[in-house]
């Protein structure tokens, strides 16, 4: 038997509870992993609070990522005792996920834990941190260099944003951190931000083209914020968009794209190919100051995860949450 959070549906209402499950109930897969650490990402908070239809079937164990140790494996790439990490692939949505002491998955979804990270550090980063690195890689692949000018990071005090600020600063970029929480300014400067931008300046409908300010941007907000970010890019600036914290809409004009040659790059972590996952994790290992990582992380006991989810929906969580499981 093992402990898990289980989402269920009763008369059209989603329920959520801790349950004891039998290993025989685990879904199909050739690798069984004992979860050491998991985390709470924005998508997990959406699932746990029932704020969006993240679970595609019921009963569902939520948790879109985990780090742990292989217990049994029929996959030639993994043997018992190997330390592994999983991000995405519909885990916690279509396939039972990481908010559990045990998971069973196809081995091809796993990546080996990258040195020097411990399982706790890997989940300190979690899918938010891995996505932040995919966004940094997207800017690099479009040719954005530190000498081109400042990079704007939205939702900077949240999970993706805080890791993006720390990595970009270490790589030598000048980072402007946008936040709706001015009280987090010192935290953001400690991570390496050179300046703080008030989210309110980007939240109302703006002009199709604003003053050219940013050589690059990493956006977790979407909605009006993303439209205004695009309007404030320098000539040939690049925006990596990965989130919808401000909304799913995109009330923009084509002006930044056709008059300034701005590039908008979409970043998806869920189905990203294995080579890109490995590249992102290897670059996190190389380009993130581990002492900063510790300051980003708050540890939440497994039993208290349900109480934290609404706070994340209200944008009240600073940095990353890590959850020791077993």
- Alpha carbon dihedral 11, 13, 14, 17, in 10-degree steps, equals -70
Quote the least distance from Cβ 175 to ligand NDP, whole Å: 13
- Of 4, 169, 175, 221, the one binding ligand NDP (CB under 6 A) is 221
Asked if 197 and 161 count as a contact pair (C-beta separation under 8 A), the reply is no
CA 22 remoteness from chain centre: 30
φ, ψ of residue 163 to 5 degrees: the values are -70, -40
Q: Which stretch binds ligand NDP (CB under 6 A): 6-14, 100-108, 141-149, 219-227?
A: 219-227
- Within 186-205, the residues that bind ligand NDP by CB under 6 A are 199
Q: Which is nearer to ligand NDP, 73 or 228 (CB)?
A: 228
Q: Is 226 in the site for ligand NDP (CB under 6 A)?
A: no
Q: CA dist 39 to 101, 121, 145, 263, Å?
A: 13, 11, 32, 32
Instruction: Please give the Cα distance from 135 to 240 (Å, whole number).
Output: 6
CA 278 remoteness from chain centre: 16
- Of 68, 98, 158, 216, the one binding ligand NDP (CB under 6 A) is 158
- Within 48-77, the residues that bind ligand NDP by CB under 6 A are none
Q: Is 41 in the site for ligand NDP (CB under 6 A)?
A: yes
Q: Residue 142: which residues within 8 A CB-CB, separation 6 or more? A: 238, 263, 265
- Of 100, 110, 138, 225, the one binding ligand NDP (CB under 6 A) is 225
- Of 190, 244, 255, 300, the one binding ligand NDP (CB under 6 A) is 244
- Of 39, 165, 269, 283, the one binding ligand NDP (CB under 6 A) is 269
φ, ψ of residue 231 to 5 degrees: the values are -70, -20
Contacts with ligand NDP by CB under 6 A lie at: 41-43, 127-128, 131, 154-161, 179-181, 199, 220-221, 225, 242-246, 267-270, 312, 315, 317
């Amino acid at each position: 038997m093992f402990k898990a959070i289980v989402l269920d549906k009763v008369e059209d209402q989603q329920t959520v509870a801790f349950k004891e499950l039998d290993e025989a109930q685990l879904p199909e897969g050739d690798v069984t992993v004992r979860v050491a650490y998991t985390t709470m990402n924005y998508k997990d908070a959406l699932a746990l609070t029932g704020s969006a239809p993240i679970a595609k079937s019921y009963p569902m164990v939520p948790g879109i990522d985990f780090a742990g140790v292989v217990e049994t494996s029929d996959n030639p790439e993994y043997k018992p005792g190997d330390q592994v990490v999983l991000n995405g692939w519909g885990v916690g949505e279509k396939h039972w996920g990481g908010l559990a002491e045990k998971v069973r998955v196809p081995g091809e979804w796993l990546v080996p834990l990258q040195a020097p990270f411990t399982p706790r550090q890997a989940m300190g980063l979690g899918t938010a941190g891995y996505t932040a690195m995919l966004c940094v890689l997207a800017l690099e692949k479009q040719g954005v260099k530190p000498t081109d000018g400042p990079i704007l990071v939205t939702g900077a005090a949240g999970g993706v944003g805080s890791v993006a600020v720390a990595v970009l600063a270490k790589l030598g970029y000048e980072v402007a951190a946008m936040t709706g929480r001015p009280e987090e300014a010192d935290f953001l400067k400690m991570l390496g931000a050179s300046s703080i931008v008030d989210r309110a300046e980007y939240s109302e409908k703006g002009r199709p083209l604003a003053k050219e300010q940013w050589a690059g941007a990493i956006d977790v907000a979407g909605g009006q914020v993303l439209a205004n970010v695009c309007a404030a890019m320098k000539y040939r600036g690049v925006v990596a968009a990965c989130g919808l914290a401000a909304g799913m809409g995109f009330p923009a004009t084509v002006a930044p794209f056709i008059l300034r040659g701005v590039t908008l790059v979409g970043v998806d972590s869920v189905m990203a190919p294995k080579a890109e996952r490995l590249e992102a994790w290897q670059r996190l290992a190389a380009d993130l100051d581990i002492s900063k990582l510790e300051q980003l992380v708050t540890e939440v006991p497994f039993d208290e995860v349900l109480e934290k989810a609404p706070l994340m929906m209200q944008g009240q969580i600073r940095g990353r949450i890590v959850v020791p499981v077993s």
